[in-house]
């Protein structure tokens, strides 16, 4: 078998050697007592990078987003978000089942945004006892199911202003906010500025093994700390994990443009293959979405199996569509290997 080229997600990355050394040598303490110096440093660094007063190290982006809902809203409230958003589709219904907050999904536009007038129309009239209280607006950046689309500074500012005009809090699921910043040529801090809170992942594309950071005001994070404990998310000597997160922020965020370049190369290679259709011909970040043509003699399960036999792993979205994600552990040779495998199987 050739070298494994794992394109299923940027969550399959392994820690870099520098991360492993940092983890082995990390100074630690009991984080529930706020005594882990490495966790404290990661949280401070994250807050600065996002332009927020404080950060909170959590186990996952799903936990971070749930904590944001719990801290911003109460039972019986409503959160407006996209119908293709990660928080709505892939977080186990935690918003409703654990926070008691009703999701109000609006159609995502092709670029991942929500129509601003649709947001305005979705905000409930105050004082009507028949309605839940509109309390929170959630956007995703980059937007996974919309081709890894980065959401612009201008739109984010407009959405934030609209939310605040009507008394709603504004949260960004910024799992891949550093990819968005790299794609747009801006800083994560600029993208996060209009939001009251933001979650970003250390284990998506940045190679850390575990964790996300939720950032916001001191008061907001104080609430989130209590809810994190309630959910069983209190860390002990978590500096062992936080050390890798610090290395991720210091060494991995500036190289994401390489992944974006390789995604474009991959898309160009696949576009030249019969029986494949690119859903986003010019991928804006590190994701390539494609589909098998209707007349393709190869089924999606068969394609996945045969690619795996050549060392190429992919992630099927449905019976004809699939997603490929570039990351640190896929180099130029890996892209060539993947394109050639597709070409041979679909020849």
Rounded Cα distance, 238 and 184, in Å: 33
Buried-exposed string 56-81: b where 16+ CB fall within 10 A, e elsewhere: bbbbbbbbbbbbbbbbbbeeebbbbb
Instruction: Give the HSE-up count for residue 306: Cα atoms under 13 Å, Cβ half-sphere.
Output: 14
CA pair distance 58, 211, nearest whole angstrom = 6
- What is the rounded distance in angstroms from the CA atom of residue 192 to the CA atom of residue 109? 21
CB-CB neighbours of 273 under 10 Å: 17
Q: What was the pLDDT predicted at 2?
A: 60
3-state SS string for 153-206? HHHHHHHHHHHHHCCCEEEEECCCHHHHHHHHCCCHHHHHCCCCEEEEECCCCC
What's the pLDDT score for residue 338?
97
Number of C-beta neighbours around residue 340 at 10 A: 14
> Is the torsion defined by CA of 197, 203, 204, 207 positive or negative?
positive
pLDDT, tens digit, for every residue of 16-68?
999 999 999 999 999 999 999 999 999 999 999 999 999 999 999 999 999 99
What does pTM read for this prediction?
0.97
Q: Which residues of the chain have pLDDT under 50?
A: 1
- Tell me which residue of 202, 204, 234 sits closest to 215, measured CA to CA: 202
What is the pLDDT at residue 1? 46
Q: What are phi and psi of 325, to 5 degrees?
A: -125, 125
**E-state strands within the chain:** 5-6, 54-58, 77-82, 102-106, 133-140, 169-173, 197-201, 212-216, 276-278, 287-292, 312-313, 315-316, 321-325
Phi, psi angle pair for 40, to nearest 5°: -60, -40
What is the per-residue pLDDT for 28?
98
Q: What string of DSSP letters covers 282-326?
A: S-SSSEEEEEE-TT-SS-HHHHHHHHHHTTEE-EESSSSEEEEE-
Alpha-carbon distances, residue 56 vs 221, 233, 234, 249 (angstroms): 7, 11, 11, 15
Where do the domains of the chain lie, and which CATH numbers do they carry?
5-12+255-345 (3.90.1150.10), 17-251 (3.40.640.10)
Query: Per DSSP, what are the bridge partners of residue 292?
Result: 276
Cα-based distances in Å from 225 to 57, 213, 277: 10, 12, 46
């Amino acid at each position: 078998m050739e070298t494994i080229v794992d394109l299923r997600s940027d969550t399959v990355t392994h820690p870099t050697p520098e991360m492993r050394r940092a983890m082995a040598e990390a100074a630690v303490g009991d984080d529930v007592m706020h005594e882990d110096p490495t966790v404290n440093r990661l949280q401070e660094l994250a807050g600065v990078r996002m332009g927020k007063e404080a950060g909170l190290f959590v186990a996952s982006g799903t936990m971070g987003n749930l904590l944001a809902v719990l801290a911003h809203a109460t039972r019986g409230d409503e959160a407006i978000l996209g119908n293709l958003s990660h928080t709505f589709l892939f977080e186990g219904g935690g918003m409703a089942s654990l926070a008691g907050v009703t999701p109000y999904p609006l159609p995502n536009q092709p670029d991942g945004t929500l129509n601003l007038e649709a947001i305005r129309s979705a905000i409930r009239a105050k004082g009507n006892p028949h309605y839940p209280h509109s309390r929170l607006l959630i956007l995703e950046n980059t937007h996974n199911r919309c081709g890894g689309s980065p959401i612009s500074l201008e739109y984010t500012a407009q959405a934030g202003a609209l939310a605040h005009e009507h008394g709603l809090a504004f949260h960004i699921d910024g799992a891949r906010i550093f990819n968005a910043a790299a794609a747009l040529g801006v800083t994560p801090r600029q993208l996060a500025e209009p939001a009251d809170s933001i979650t970003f992942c250390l284990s998506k594309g940045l190679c850390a093994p575990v964790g996300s950071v939720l950032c916001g005001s001191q008061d907001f994070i104080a609430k989130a700390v209590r809810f994190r404990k309630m959910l069983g998310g209190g860390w002990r000597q978590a500096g062992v994990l936080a050390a890798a997160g610090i290395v991720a922020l210091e060494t991995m965020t500036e190289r994401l443009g390489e992944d974006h370049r390789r995604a474009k190369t991959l898309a160009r290679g696949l576009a030249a293959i019969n029986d494949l259709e690119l859903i986003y011909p010019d991928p804006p970040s590190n994701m390539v979405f494609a589909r098998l043509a209707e007349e393709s003699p190869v089924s999606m399960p068969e394609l996945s199996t045969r690619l795996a036999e050549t060392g190429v792993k992919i992630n099927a979205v449905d019976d004809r569509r699939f997603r490929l994600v570039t990351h640190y552990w896929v180099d130029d040779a890996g892209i060539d290997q993947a394109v050639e495998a597709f070409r041979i199987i679909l020849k």
